[in-house]
Structure 1
Amino acid sequence: MAQPVPNLHHLELFYHVARAGGITAAVRAMPYGIQQPAISGQVAQLEEELGVRLFQRRPFTLTPAGKELFDFLAPFFGALPEIAERISGTASKHLRLAAPATVIRDHLPAVLAGIRKSQPDLELSLIDASQSRIFELLEQEEVDLAVAELEGRAPSGMKTEVLLSLPLVLLLPPGQAMPKAGLKALAGDVALVRTPEDTAIARLFAKGLNRKNLRWPSRIEVNTIELVHAYVAEGFGVGVSVQAPGVKLPKGVKAVELKGFPDLAIAGVWRGKLGPLAESVMDGLRKRAKK
């Protein structure tokens, strides 16, 4: 029958006792708080599991079995502080971000350039992702911070900070004016160009239509706002977009704000506590949003 594997925590306590030269000294030297009776009891359990005495109590001396075990454990437990420091140092200069392509292209470069001035060895992983994919990446702890379109509440356990609220707009192709009857004159009769129905913009647009008791199914679905703009510019139909800072519409395309429709929120999203680099990015995004 195989010997049971000793409890790892019991082994750690024995290492500290052997290294400090006694239980009382180990209590003072432990990297975390633990009382003397707890150490005594758990080391006694280790001795019982192994079936040997590991040290003499008074005066403190390791038995041959105890010295053999300590010599085996010391390289591992002794190196933990160093490896933790190395891992922490690597993590402190590596930042993983997820955001839509427009944010990565148009807004993050300026924010990250400022951070690189104080952190020249900054390492970056930038992921172009949709709203649903962003939440998956955060849930799986594959990114440290994300910028996402936020519709309603984020999934449980995630923290958010809204940076911008963008009004929805209707894009009219060159040469087309908004009819006096407004949306009622367009809905259902004019081709609608929008992003897929599972995107935040499409869902917010649908909510606005429901408020006005209107139906307007899309005839053309494209996967980015830029493509909506391009197809509207070519006269394929009327498009749904957002009034975003710094976004230039194609020549001849007009944007009409959709009054009474919900705004699209752009938010920073993360789990747990932000590290220093991620907090610096959020600070940069806040300042950029105010502009």
Structure 2
Amino acid sequence: MLARHEEDADMAQPVPNLHHLELFYHVAKAGGITAAVRSMPYGIQQPAISGQVSQLESELGVRLFQRRPFTLTPAGKELFEFLAPFFGALPAIAERIAGKASKHLRLAAPATVIRDHLPGVLAEIRKAQPDLELSLMDVGQSRIFELLEQEEVDLAVAELEGRAPSGMKTEVLLSLPLVLLLPPGQAMPKGGLKVLAEEAALVRTAEDTAVARLFAKGLNQKGIRWPARIEVNTIDLVHAYVAEGFGVGVSVDAPGVKLPKGVKAVKLAGFPDLAIAGVWRGKLGPLAELVMAGLRRRAKG
């Protein structure tokens, strides 16, 4: 029996060294060994990190990342997604254990959300916590997910198409219908959208934005081709150029948004809605929970 027990123990997969796992987490988060040396909370030299991560790969029997250019392998991505909630939450846990709940909240969102919706929500939170510290980042959709992946923000408000990347949690706050903006003096032709696409210039945000992709999806479903004549980087600029008569614009029917004088919005029936969602990794901290509660109330209002 003892011999059998020893044989089973020899066959068991060895448990990876915790320090090696932590080093790999920092390398994956920073995007490379050199970057990890600069960003880690304690000093360690590049050869030591490289050697210990190589030892981890040897123990696991898999390559975790390509060195040049740096990219995680599928096994590396799986391991990082498992480790990130633990190591990413350690600073906050340490603060709570020490009785020092964090007063600093890091938020990422598009400019319109930061400008029009967050000030009221954050003002309510500041009444309860006057020494609130904030880092607000005006970033686009793809950058938002990158910041969350790297644990650089606590909470994000993002335009959501389908599912968020693996390992992220979401809560849809609003679903906004797409609309066409007609410039002053222009009416919808009798032939509808197909005729309009043949006659009018299109003004929209860049093709890699959520609004542009959803609009293209709706056009494809209707068999309509309508390339953009003018691309801008914000919905506000779409409104401005439509108001000046440059063409027909693509926007969303968003609460509180005032259209320029003379511009008319026409809802796009059959087109997918744009979802606005809170996005985060792991467990929300107390301040982020308060922000989500405020955004829920604002969305319902």
3-state DSSP of counterpart to 1:269: strand
- Which of these residues, 143, 152, 175, is aligned with residue 185 of structure 2? 175
State the alpha-carbon separation in 1 of the partners of residues 98 and 227 from structure 2: 51
Amino acid at match of 1:211: Q
- Which of these residues, 119, 136, 141, is aligned with residue 151 of structure 2? 141
Unmatched tracts of structure 2, length 5 or more: 1-16, 20-92
Structure 1's 271 and 85: CA in aligned 2 closer, same or farther, altered over 3 A? closer
Structure 1's 138 and 237: CA in aligned 2 closer, same or farther, altered over 3 A? same
Structure 1's 89 and 201: CA in aligned 2 closer, same or farther, altered over 3 A? farther
Give the drift of 1:84.
3.7
1:85-116: CA deviation from partner (whole Å, max 9, x where unpaired): 48966662100000000000000000000000
- Give yes or no for the alignment of 1:117 onto 2:138: no
Structure 1's 234 and 85: CA in aligned 2 closer, same or farther, altered over 3 A? closer
Which of the pair has more CA radius of gyration? 1
Please provide the CA RMSD for this pair: 1.9
Query: In percent, how many aligned pairs have the same letter?
Result: 87
Q: How does 1:183-262 map to 2 (within 5 A)?
A: 183-262=193-272
Amino acid at match of 1:142: E
Taking structure 2 as the reference length, the TM-score comes to 0.68
**Is the contact between residue 167 and residue 264 of structure 1 (CA under 8 Å) also seen in structure 2?**
yes
State the alpha-carbon separation in 1 of the partners of residues 168 and 195 from structure 2: 42
Give the drift of 1:189.
2.6
- Give yes or no for the alignment of 1:106 onto 2:124: no
1:210-257: CA deviation from partner (whole Å, max 9, x where unpaired): 110000000000000000000000000000000000000000000000
3-state DSSP of counterpart to 1:221: strand
State the alpha-carbon separation in 2 of the partners of residues 8 and 241 from structure 1: 49
Structure 1's 280 and 91: CA in aligned 2 closer, same or farther, altered over 3 A? same
Which residue in the other structure is 2:3 paired with?
none
Give the drift of 1:181.
1.1
Structure 1's 174 and 8: CA in aligned 2 closer, same or farther, altered over 3 A? closer
Amino acid at match of 1:194: R
Aligned pairs, how many?
A: 212
- Which of these residues, 264, 274, 277, is aligned with residue 264 of structure 1? 274
**Is the contact between residue 188 and residue 217 of structure 1 (CA under 8 Å) also seen in structure 2?**
no
**Is the contact between residue 95 and residue 102 of structure 2 (CA under 8 Å) also seen in structure 1?**
no
Structure 1's 190 and 112: CA in aligned 2 closer, same or farther, altered over 3 A? same
- Which of these residues, 172, 175, 189, is aligned with residue 165 of structure 1? 175
State the alpha-carbon separation in 1 of the partners of residues 107 and 18 from structure 2: 36
Taking structure 1 as the reference length, the TM-score comes to 0.70
Unmatched tracts of structure 1, length 5 or more: 1-6, 10-82
